[in-house]
Amino acid sequence: MMKKMIKHPNNNPNLEEEERDWSHIPGQFLWGVMNYLPPFDAMRISYVCNSWKSIIKPEPNKITIPWVLCNPSSSISTDRIFIDLSTNAISRVKIPDIVSQGTCISSKHGWLLLHPNSHPMNIINGGFYSHRIFPYQPRVTSSKYEPNTSIVNNKCTLRLLHPVSGTVIDLPEIQEEDCNVVVGPAIIGAVSELTGKPELIIQASFRGHKGIVLRITRAGQSQWEEHRFQHCFGWETRVARVAMHGSTRVCCFDPKGRMCVFEMEDKSWLIFPELCNSRSGFVVECEDEVVKVAPLPPSVHGNQERYMFYKLGLDENGVIGWVEMERVGLENKWWFLDINGESYCVKGVGRKVFQLFGHYGMVRNGGGRVRFGTRIVSEVGIPLSVLDLDDGVPQELMPELALKDCKLGWILMDFPVSV
Amino acid sequence: MATIITKEQQEKEKMVTLVSSDSEKFVVEQKVAEKSHVIKMVMNCCGIESPIPVRRVKGDILKSILEYCEKHSKGEAQEVMEKWDKEYMDKAEKDLVFFHDLMLASHFLHIQELVDLIAVTFAGMLKMKSPEEIRQKFNINNDLTKEQEEHIMTTFGWAFQPI
């Protein structure tokens, strides 16, 4: 490394005033600097230049725990708070202006999929569970989505954001034919293992009697490929959730749990009208499976919370349905749920359920108090908790945050694969 | 009398001369010079009688480093040292060229306490900055973004454009 100093000859003091090669600082020193940086800034170091990137190598086997993303709901600030729950470290990150009003609706491999409107369409009353069964449904009135006349709902451009590098990728514009149709949810369907970049984006909207339109676009395509399906009888007003089952099947759910499946290989549709006649819960994508995590009503004694776990599979009659998961299938998994129905799960240690209530300091019921089932907490209550499945006792988790009016969400912030 | 002379002699023996790359000479106590692991090893094997050349460090940097080493060899109270360190760094980080050379020199001379102090200061400069802002501040060539853009736009075919 000392050769670099020789690059700047000592006998030329005038030139020296300007020139120092910061890209080639000693690797050992740069590693030392990483120890003093919040996780987000430490991750970002490798995006400055090739030399720094070659020094900072990602840790491929690190367990990835979703981070919490705090979106201020009122201001158009370009600052976002990211909380790394594995260390409770808080990073405040500036994001590009163009995406500052977007809300994250899906996240994979460090990428966020952003919806430009402040109220994405899939947050209405949560993903898919009925209010009378879900025990901790707060009385969301003030934050309930109301179509806003100032926002054109039938038209939007989804964007991909990599918050570490600041890369923004615009997806092709989506425009619904009918102005009464709102643009439905979207997910990052797959991320390239080679490049760490999203390579499949899926979006679904419900068009009333015209049925569902599923849009798919891949890396390299400049428009959405559309697949329509008219025969989704009895569907409730909108698509609540989209999830990948394996690498080729796309499952669309309505708010009552009805499911339509699109098979990408032969471009066929399947419908499962009976599927909604079961317990309500969160739909979670989990390692190529679609899992439903159903909260049970609180027990009479104490504050224990209980969940049932089902996965999409064949039941005893050979019919596709929600099959109760065996206990062994729950081992070594952490489940991440939130009230918006955006949930993730990753491999972890132990059997824990992390619960996130979508709004922090926003949800209110009368005199500034929030009611979560049997618990009543103050307006600045704790919206994040972890529950051990062994004893069912929830623990509050929220790091101390002087934040109000934030919308919280899980995001997957794993180290990207080195390009 | 005899004992006093011995003490003086000992003290004289404990002094060492360091010569910077631009031939500036610094006479410091051995315990000050020992703060550098590299100079300590040189002194152990070559003794302290002849001047030790520090070829890769210029006079102004060596002076500042020795100032740091001297302060840190006194064993003062922690609060005093922290305050002093802060002032020392506040001054250093104002001039990025000086700061860069100080960083390299402390790394080269292996003065771990100073390397850590500089790392903390440098980390403070990187916090809350986008890669582009970091590049601008430190005048780093944007070689990665070009490659990334090429990757995104051509190699891996990311060409999402509005219809």
State how far the Cα of B87 lies from the Cα of A33, in Å rounded to an integer. 20
Instruction: Summarize pLDDT for A345-370 with one digit per residue, the tens.
Output: 766 667 788 877 665 543 333 333 43
| Side-chain half-sphere exposure of B2, counting CA atoms within 13 A | 0
> Which of A99-108, A356-365, B132-141, B153-162 bottoms out in mean pLDDT, i.e. has the lowest?
B153-162
Minimum CA–CA partner of B138 in chain A: A22
Q: What is the pLDDT of residue B13?
A: 57
A48-79 b/e (C-beta count within 10 Å ≥ 16 → b) = bbebbbebbebeeeeebbbbbbbbbbeeeeee
Q: What is the pLDDT of residue B89?
A: 95
Q: Which residue has the higher pLDDT, A276 or B162?
A: A276
Q: What is the pLDDT of residue A402?
A: 47
Q: Which residue has the higher pLDDT, A303 or A184?
A: A184
State how far the Cα of B108 lies from the Cα of A354, in Å rounded to an integer. 48
Residue B54, classed as helix, strand or coil, is: strand
State how far the Cα of A27 lies from the Cα of B106, in Å rounded to an integer. 14
Cβ-Cβ contacts under 8 Å, A35 against chain B: 119
> Which of A48-62, A251-265, A276-290, B91-105 bottoms out in mean pLDDT, i.e. has the lowest?
A48-62
Q: What is the pLDDT of residue A18?
A: 59
Q: What is the DSSP letter of A389?
A: T
Pair A40, A166: CB distance under 8 Å: no
State how far the Cα of B53 lies from the Cα of B47, in Å rounded to an integer. 13
Q: What is the DSSP letter of A269?
A: E
Helices then strands, each counted (H, E), chain A: 6, 30
Model confidence at B147: pLDDT above 50: yes
CB atoms closer than 10 angstroms to residue A97: 10
What's the mean pLDDT in A309-321? 82
What's the mean pLDDT in A249-254? 88
Chosen CATH of B7-126 out of 3.30.710.10, 3.10.180.10, 3.40.50.300, 1.10.1840.10: 3.30.710.10
Four-residue CA torsion sign, A249, A253, A257, A260: negative
What is the distance in angstroms between the Cα of B12 and the nearest Cα belonging to chain A?
33
Q: What is the DSSP letter of A128?
A: S
Q: What is the DSSP letter of B153?
A: I
- Beta-carbon separation of A49 and B119 below 8 A: no
Q: pLDDT class for A262, splitting at 50, 70, 90?
A: very high
Domains of chain A: 37-411 (2.130.10)
Instruction: Summarize pLDDT for A110-143 with one digit per residue, the tens.
Output: 788 888 764 433 333 333 332 222 333 322 323 3
Measured CA angle at A408 (ends A309, A261), to 5 deg: 45
> Residue A338 is encoded by which pair of tokens?
């939130």
Q: Which residue has the higher pLDDT, A378 or A29?
A: A29
Residue A278: which of A231, A330, A323, A244 has the closest Cα? A323
Instruction: Summarize pLDDT for A329-340 with one digit per residue, the tens.
Output: 777 777 887 765
- Beta-carbon separation of B159 and A222 below 8 A: yes
> Which of A113-127, A148-162, A371-385 bottoms out in mean pLDDT, i.e. has the lowest?
A371-385
Model confidence at B1: pLDDT above 50: no
The partner residue sitting opposite B96, judged by closest CB among A5, A20, A170, is A20
- Beta-carbon separation of A169 and B158 below 8 A: yes
Pair B10, B48: CB distance under 8 Å: no
In angstroms, the Cα distances linking A52 to A66, A228, B54, B126, B139 are 26, 47, 28, 13, 14
State how far the Cα of A56 lies from the Cα of A329, in Å rounded to an integer. 36
State how far the Cα of A209 lies from the Cα of A148, in Å rounded to an integer. 23
Q: What is the DSSP letter of A348?
A: -
State how far the Cα of A37 lies from the Cα of A32, in Å rounded to an integer. 9
Interface of A with B in 81-110 (CB under 8 A): 92-94
> Residue A371 is encoded by which pair of tokens?
């009611």
Interface of A with B in 193-232 (CB under 8 A): 194-195, 197, 199, 217, 219-224
Q: What is the pLDDT of residue A382?
A: 52
The partner residue sitting opposite B144, judged by closest CB among A1, A19, A53, is A53
Does this model's pTM top 0.80? My answer is no
Model confidence at B140: pLDDT above 60: yes
Check: complex ipTM more than 0.85: no
> Residue B153 is encoded by which pair of tokens?
């736009």
What is the distance in angstroms between the Cα of B92 and the nearest Cα belonging to chain A?
15
Q: What is the pLDDT of residue A4?
A: 39
Instruction: Summarize pLDDT for A178-212 with one digit per residue, the tens.
Output: 777 778 888 999 887 776 778 899 999 888 888 89
Q: What is the pLDDT of residue B105?
A: 95
